[in-house]
Structure 1
Amino acid sequence: MKVYSNHLWCLFPQHGRGKKHERLIELSDWQQRIVDAYPWRFLRGLFHSDGCRVTNWTTRLVGGERKRYEYPRYLFTNKSDDIRKLCSDTLTQVGVAWTTLARGSDPFHISVARRASVALMDAHIGPKC
């Protein structure tokens, strides 16, 4: 579904002019009530638009031998501090452990890598459409 209107920003102030990461993005009270009632749907929308599920890997020394270790991880990337805060606050609300990763000195990424949190995300977010 697509909506076109010059007055969209009247209902959804976050759809204002300019770059999202250079202006304030906040939810109206009625929008926050919806997010509070349906946090997983909100997170699904965020991760399906600006996120991904990847298989990360690292190596560890086990018994004197270097072994490769793989694990699933969710990443959410957005330049807007406000949008990342909406995501991280909602992740916290539903009990998902997350961390911030930086690209250079900019904290653009939210990472979910703990096994229990990834399992929660798998149960509620699902594959991208």
Structure 2
Amino acid sequence: MSADLFCEIIAGERPAHIVDSDDVAVSFLDTRPVFKGHVLVVPRGHVETLTDLADVGPFFERVRAVAGAVEEGLQAGGTFVAMNNRVSQSVAHLHVHVVPRNKKDGMRGFFWPRTKYASAEEAASYADAIAAALRRTPE
């Protein structure tokens, strides 16, 4: 495993608000969310880009489940799901952004402000709501 930030989170060496974790992927809150409840879904094994991902189906099943859980758990109107490959990829570990969306939320195209959680407790409440919705979602 390469020593990147996401590998450290996966290994439990760095704290994160984990939403879900299994043998395929780990999902956790972005520390600089576009909107509160913004989740990153990363493959458990170190993979840098989408073209490096050998088994796409199981990984994107997790992305799909998280997108549904963000909508349900946060009563969001929808989600924005995106990823970068190399350019604008802040961590060299494949990650998919799942961002809660609502009409008139201020997001325009690909330019948006980032926000912060008021506290670790507030971040944990968002992670818990999404995780609870994931547990209710049949696979």
Bin the TM-score by the shorter chain: 0.3 to 0.5
Higher helix fraction: Structure 1 or Structure 2?
1
TM-score, normalised with respect to structure 2: 0.33
Larger radius of gyration: 1
| Structure possessing the higher relative contact order (Cα contacts under 8 Å, 6 or more residues apart) | 2
The structure where strand makes up a greater share of residues is: 1
